[in-house]
C-alpha cells in the first residue's frame, strides 16, 4: 500500500513535517510510539521516526524530521501526493501516562517533536506541565505554539541567545529541580549528549527521568539487535524494550559511540545525493 503525503511544511531550516496516509497506524498508535518509513521498497533505508500526532478519522499520521543524511534529505524533497512505500508500526512500547503531579518536559532540537505527543498525553490526564524547549538558534526552534497550548509554564532557551534566554536546557532544568516541591517526573528527549547531561542534573536531585532513545535501527521488531543499548548494565533493544528508558540507568557514552557507526559512509552518501541534485538542477 502506498502511503501518500497529504500535506507537508518546512518548520525550520532543516526540519520538515508531513501528514501521511496510514489508517491502521493512526488508529492504534499511542504516545511514545514510532513508525519505520522507507521511500521505496527495493533500495531505501528504513528510517525510524516518532509519530508526532495522528488523526484517526482522516487516517493520517504526522511526522516531523530533521534533514541529517541522505534519506531524510530525500524525504525533505518529497511533495504532497508523493508516497512512501514503507510505513510500519506503531512500534515500541507506548509511554506510561499517569497522573504524576508535575511533569517537566525537556526537548532539545528535533527531540521537541517526539516530546509533543507525550506532553499532550501527560497534560490530558491532569499533570501540571513545565516545558523546557531548547534549540541551537532561533530558526531551529520548532513547535513553540503547540507547547504553549498545553504547558502551565514554558521556558525557551537558545544556545546563542538569538531568542529568549541564552542557555542550555540543563540550566532551567536545574532551577526547576531545586524548587519545592520537586517535580515528580522529568521527560527529556533530544540529542544523546543533551539527554546525558539532563540525567546528570536530575540524578543530583533524585527526580525520576524518562528518556527516549534514537539509536540506529533496521527492522524495529526485535529481530536484529542493532538498536541495542546498555541499560543498568544489561543489553536492551530500543525498538521493543523502549524507546523510553529510565535515563539514570542508560549508558549514554556507549550509545553515543554506537550512533557514529556509519558516520563516514553516511557523509559520503549525503554529499553524493547533494551533487546529484545539483546536476539535475543544472540540466533542467
Partner 1 sequence: MDEDAKLLQQLLKKQKEGRLKPSDRYKIPPQAMPQQDGTERRDNVNEVALGFTETQARLEAMRCLQCRNAPCMQGCPVRIRIGDFIEAIAKGRYADALGIIKENSLLPAVCGRVCPQEVQCQETCTVGKKFKDVSKAVSIGRLERFVADRAAGPDAVPKVAPETGKKVAVIGSGPGGIVAASDTRRAGHAVTVFEAFHKPGGVMVYGIPEFRLPKAIVQKEIDVLEKMGVKIVCNFVVGRTRTIAQLMTQDGFDAVYIGVGAGLPRFMGIGGEQFVGVYSANEYLTRANLMKAYKFGAGADTPIAKSKKVAVIGGGNVAMDSARTAVRLGAEEVYLVYRRSEAEMPARVEEVHHAKEEGVRFHILRNPKRILGNEDGYVTAIECLKYKLGEPDESGRCRPIPIEGSEFTIDVDTVIIAIGNGANPLIGQTTPGLELNKWGNIVVDDNCKTSLEGVYAGGDIVLGAATVILAMGQGRIAAAAINEYLAAKK
Ligand X SMILES: Cc1cc2nc3c(=O)[nH]c(=O)nc-3n(C[C@H](O)[C@H](O)[C@H](O)COP(=O)(O)OP(=O)(O)OC[C@H]3O[C@@H](n4cnc5c(N)ncnc54)[C@H](O)[C@@H]3O)c2cc1C
**Beta bridge partner(s), residue 230:** 235
**DSSP 8-state code for residue 49:** E
| Contact pattern from residue 239 through residue 278 relative to ligand FES, giving x for each residue in contact according to CB under 6 A and a dash for the rest | x---------------------------------------
Distance CA 20, CA 26 (A): 10
Q: For residue 83, state whether it binds ligand FES (rule: CB under 6 A).
A: no
> Of the two residues 4 and 46, which places its CB atom closer to partner 1 in the complex?
46
Question: Residue 42's binding partner, choosing from partner 1, ligand X, ligand FES, none, with beta-carbon cut-off 5 to 8 A by kind?
Answer: partner 1
Q: How far apart are CA 155 and CA 172, in angstroms?
A: 8
Q: Which stretch binds partner 1 (CB under 8 A): 55-63, 108-116, 205-213, 255-263?
A: 255-263
The one of partner 1, ligand FES, ligand X, none whose footprint includes residue 98, by CB under 5 to 8 A per kind, is none
* Closest by Cα among 188, 183, 215, 184 to 200: 188
Which span (99-107, 187-195, 199-207, 267-275) binds partner 1, by CB under 8 A?
A: 267-275
Cell of 258: 554506537
110 binds ligand X (CB under 6 A): yes
Which of 34, 65, 237, 252 forms a contact with ligand FES (CB under 6 A)? 237
H helix runs in 205-262, sequence order: 238-241, 252-259
258 is a contact residue toward partner 1 (CB under 8 A): yes
Nearest to 155 by CA among 142, 145, 165, 141: 165
Give the CA count within 13 Å in the CB-facing half-sphere of 93.
16
Among positions 26, 131, 209, 214, the unique one binding ligand X when judged by CB under 6 A? 214
Site for ligand X in 19-58 (CB under 6 A): 34, 45, 47-50
Q: Does 19 bind partner 1 (CB under 8 A)?
A: no
Q: Give the residue, chosen from 78, 83, 240, 259, that forms a contact with ligand X under the rule CB under 6 A.
A: 259
Q: In the set 201, 217, 229, 250, which binds ligand FES (CB under 6 A)? A: 217
> Is 208 among the residues that bind ligand FES (CB under 6 A)?
no
Opening angle at CA 124, ends 56 and 244, nearest 5: 80
- Residue 205 burial (C-beta neighbours within 10 Å; 0-12, 13-18, 19+): middle
The 3-state DSSP class for residue 117 equals helix
Q: Which does 88 bind (CB under 5 to 8 A by kind): ligand X, partner 1, ligand FES, none?
A: partner 1
Helices (H), the chain: 23-28, 70-76, 112-124, 144-150, 170-178, 192-204, 238-241, 252-259, 263-283
Please tell me whether residue 261 binds partner 1 under the rule CB under 8 A: yes
Which three cell numbers, joined as nine digits, stand for 126?
Answer: 491532569
Look up residue 181 and give its three cell numbers. Answer: 516541591
The contact set with ligand X (CB under 6 A) reads: 34, 45, 47-50, 64-66, 68-72, 110, 113-114, 214-217, 221, 243, 259-260, 263, 266, 270
The contact set with ligand FES (CB under 6 A) reads: 217-220, 222-227, 237, 239
Amino acid at each position: 500500500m502506498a502511503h501518500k503525503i497529504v500535506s507537508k511544511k518546512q518548520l525550520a531550516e532543516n526540519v520538515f513535517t508531513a501528514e501521511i496516509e496510514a489508517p491502521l497506524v493512526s488508529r492504534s498508535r499511542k504516545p511514545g510510539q514510532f513508525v519505520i518509513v522507507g521511500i521505496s521498497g527495493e533500495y531505501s533505508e528504513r528510517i525510524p521516526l516518532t509519530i508526532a500526532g495522528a488523526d484517526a478519522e482522516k487516517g493520517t499520521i504526522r511526522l516531523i524530521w530533521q534533514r541529517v543524511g541522505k534519506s531524510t534529505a530525500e524525504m525533505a524533497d518529497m511533495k504532497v501526493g508523493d508516497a512512501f512505500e514503507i510505513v510500519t508500526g506503531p512500534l515500541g512500547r507506548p509511554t506510561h501516562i499517569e497522573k504524576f503531579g508535575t511533569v517537566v518536559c525537556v526537548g532539545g532540537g528535533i527531540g521537541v517533536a517526539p516530546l509533543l505527543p507525550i506532553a499532550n498525553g501527560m497534560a490530558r490526564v491532569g499533570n501540571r506541565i513545565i516545558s523546557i524547549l531548547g534549540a541551537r538558534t532561533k530558526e531551529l526552534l520548532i513547535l513553540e505554539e503547540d507547547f504553549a497550548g498545553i504547558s502551565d509554564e514554558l521556558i525557551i532557551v537558545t544556545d546563542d541567545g538569538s531568542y529568549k534566554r541564552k542557555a542550555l536546557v540543563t540550566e532551567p532544568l536545574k532551577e526547576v529541580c531545586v524548587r519545592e516541591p520537586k517535580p515528580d517526573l522529568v521527560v527529556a528527549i533530544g540529542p544523546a549528549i543533551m539527554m546525558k547531561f539532563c540525567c546528570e542534573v536530575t540524578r543530583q536531585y533524585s527526580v525520576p527521568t524518562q528518556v527516549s532513545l534514537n539509536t540506529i535501527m533496521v527492522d524495529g521488531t526485535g529481530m536484529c539487535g542493532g538498536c541495542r543499548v546498555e541499560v543498568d548494565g544489561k543489553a536492551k533493544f530500543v525498538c521493543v524494550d523502549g524507546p523510553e528508558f529510565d535515563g539514570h540507568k542508560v549508558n549514554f557514552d556507549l550509545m553515543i559511540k554506537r550512533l557514529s557507526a556509519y558516520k563516514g559512509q553516511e557523509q559520503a552518501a549525503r554529499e553524493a545525493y547533494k551533487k546529484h541534485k545539483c546536476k539535475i538542477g543544472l540540466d533542467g
